[in-house]
Amino acid sequence: MPEVTYATTMKAPRADVWEFVHDMNNWAPFTRGYQSHEVINDRESVWTVKGDLGPISRVTKFHVTITEWIEGEKVSFTVRGINEPINGRGAITIADGEAASTLIHGNATIEMGGTLGPVVNELIVPFVEEGADELVTKIVIAVTGDETVVVRRRNPLILMLAGVWRLIRAGVKGLFGLISRRRDGTQP
């Protein structure tokens, strides 16, 4: 099952990031193979995308439903194919980063069902992964104005290792802080 996970930092205030991403009209055209989308209501929309299936491209329509909306913080959604047995889900979370930056974490899975599902899922991996790189990169450029940015997806193992590294770094920093305060004669 094709799955993509992202964790990146944008050099922009969280409010600016949310202002951009909360309205899908801002970033929908950044989707690889985007043809059109129709907003049905504040929770539902229908998308038409031309996707790559191995060497051929095919137009697919799917219904996107927002299942969770935490203002300024998180959006979760589901995807259901209208003319093909496609199902998927995903979420985007944003949080304050250091020095007026914003941390973005995103993940999405998409799965083709039916008899040919296992084969199609293998074929669409490049489209999903490269499409995700392209989408996130374009969003970051649109928000920050930095056209040199190139975002690459992260696999869950790297994310876990990055988390462990951050914990170690925080622990070391804390330890050094403790030592320096003791050298100053201050109490912990």
Partner 1 sequence: MDGRRWDQEADVVVIGSGGAGLTAAILAHDNGARVVVLERSDLIGGTTAVSGGGAWIPLNHKMQDLETSDSREEALTYCKRLTAGRAPDELVETFVDTGHRMIRYLEVNTPLRFRASTIPDYQSEMAGAKPGGRSLDPEMFHVAELGEWAEKLRPSPLMFVPLTMDEALKSIGSPGSLQMTEIVGRMKAGLVGSGRALVGRLLKGCLDRGISILTGTRARQLVAEDGRVLGVRADREGGETRVGARGGVVLACGGFEWNQALWARFQPAAITHHCSPPDNEGDALIMAAELGADLGNMSEAWLYPGAIVPGEEHDGLPVSRWVMGERTLPHAILVNRRGERFVNEGSNYNDMSRALLVIDPNSLEARNMPCWCIMDNQYRQRYPILTVMPTDPDPEWLVSTESLEALAAKVGINPSGLTAAVSRFNGFARQEKDADFGRGESRYEHWMGDPNAPHPNLGTLEKPPFYALPIHLAAAGTKGGPRTDKNGRVLNVRGEVIGGLYAAGNAMAGVSGPGYYGGGGTIGLGMTWGYICGINAAVEAKNAS
List of residues contacting partner 1 (CB under 8 A): 50, 54-59, 61, 81-85, 114-119, 122-123
Of 13 and 85, nearer to partner 1 (C-beta) is 85
Q: Minimum Å distance from CB 129 to partner 1?
A: 15
Residue 12's nearest CA partner among 75, 90, 97, 101 is 101
φ/ψ region of 100 (left if φ > 0, alpha if ψ in -120 to 50, else beta) reads left
Distance CA 175, CA 188 (A): 11
CB of 26 to partner 1, least distance (A): 26
The CB-of-63 to partner 1 minimum distance in angstroms stands at 12
Kindly state the smallest distance separating residue 33's Cβ from partner 1, in Å. Answer: 11
Q: Rounded CA gap, 92 and 75, in Å?
A: 5
In the complex, what is the shortest distance from the CB of residue 123 to partner 1, in angstroms, rounded to a whole number?
8
Comparing CB distances to partner 1, the nearer of 54 and 171 is: 54
Are 122 and 54 a contacting pair, CB within 8 Å?
A: no
Distances (CA, A) of 40 to 26, 43, 63, 161: 16, 8, 10, 41
Closest CB to partner 1 among 70 and 119?
A: 119
Between 57 and 180, name the residue whose CB sits nearer to partner 1: 57
Nearer to partner 1, 83 or 187 (CB): 83
CB of 32 to partner 1, least distance (A): 15
Q: Which residues lie below 8 Å from residue 78, measured CB to CB, with a gap of 6+?
A: 64, 65, 67, 87, 88, 89
The pair of structure tokens assigned to 96 is: 């304050």
Nearer Cβ to partner 1 (68/122) = 122
